[in-house]
Amino acid sequence: MPFKIQPLNKKIENGLTRLPKRVIDSLFALLSMIELMGPVRGDWPNYGKLAKGIHHCHLKKGNPTYVAVWKEFADGTVEVLYVGTHEKADYRKFS
């Protein structure tokens, strides 16, 4: 089943300008892999399910650590919910 990434919302899109290029490159590589192989990305560092249909992984290890959180829908679309530092991620709102 092919997956389609929803366009990034304005908040995430604007936040990309503050991220290192390496993190942005990793994000778009992740999104390409999700489109091709689906939202379950166990081959990415520290991948895990946060709740039913909500996933996360590390885009860059170290200090600071950058993470991405995304949600899959039954119709095959995927929405990016958060991209940023691990320290600022509020995982409770994704559960």
Q: At 55, phi and psi to the nearest 5?
A: -125, 160
Instruction: Please count the CA atoms within 13 angstroms of the CA of 26 that sit on its side-chain side.
Output: 18
Tens of pLDDT, residue by residue, the chain (95 residues): 679 999 999 999 999 999 999 999 999 999 999 999 999 999 999 999 999 999 999 999 999 999 999 999 999 999 999 999 999 999 888 87
Give the pLDDT of residue 1.
67
Give the pLDDT of residue 37.
93
Give the pLDDT of residue 95.
72
Amino acid at 71: K
pTM of structure: 0.93
**Order of all β-strands in the sheet with 54-60:** 4-5, 77-85, 66-72, 54-60, 48-51
At the topology level, CATH places domain 4-94 in YaeB-like fold (3.30.2310)
Give the pLDDT of residue 91.
87
Strand-pair category, 48-51 with 77-85: unpaired
